[in-house]
């Protein structure tokens, strides 16, 4: 199991970044894929057309999202914590993803950079 930390600056408001993480309609806009999400703790979600499945654990509006991602029969839960920090005219997003299976590590880290947080950045900075 491996852990991954990543930071990205996005020229957007905290509420817009939060919506990209918790609102199914906004997720579908930036990902171009179906999403089943509720911004409610202890609810399960599917994003990227079921490519990512898990459970919402903790939410702090416009500041924090904590999720558990499911990877089959994994003993230790894989926890994603995303912190949203206002930083002048931008937002700093801090990602911590723990207990990533070794065999999935490369795909997951590339996915975060390019297809998840990278796509959110592109989507919000289009204007």
Average pLDDT over residues 16-21: 97
Helix (H, G, I), strand (E, B) or coil at 102: helix
**Which pLDDT tens digit goes with each residue over 70-127?**
987 778 899 999 999 998 889 999 999 999 999 999 999 999 999 999 999 999 998 5
**Which pLDDT tens digit goes with each residue over 86-98?**
988 899 999 999 9
* 78-87 β-sheet, strand order: 2-10, 90-100, 78-87, 64-69, 52-60, 44-47
pLDDT at 34: 95
Helix (H, G, I), strand (E, B) or coil at 124: helix
pTM for the structure as a whole: 0.93
pLDDT at 72: 78
Q: Could you tell me the domains of the chain?
A: 2-124 (3.30.530.20)
Q: Please report how the helices 14-22 and 24-31 are oriented relative to each other, as an axis angle in degrees rounded to 10.
A: 90
């Amino acid at each position: 199991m491996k852990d991954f930390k990543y930071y990205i600056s996005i020229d957007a408001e905290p509420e817009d970044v939060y919506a990209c993480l918790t609102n199914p309609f906004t997720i579908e806009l930036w990902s171009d894929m179906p999403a089943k999400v509720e911004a409610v703790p202890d609810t399960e979600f599917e994003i990227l057309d079921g490519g990512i499945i898990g459970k919402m654990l903790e939410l702090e509006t416009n500041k924090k999202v904590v999720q558990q991602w499911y990877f089959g029969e994994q003993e230790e839960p894989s926890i994603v914590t995303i912190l949203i920090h206002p930083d002048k005219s931008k937002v700093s997003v801090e990602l911590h993803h723990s207990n990533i299976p070794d065999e999935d590590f490369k795909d997951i880290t590339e996915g975060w950079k390019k297809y998840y947080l990278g796509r959110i950045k592109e989507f919000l900075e289009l204007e």
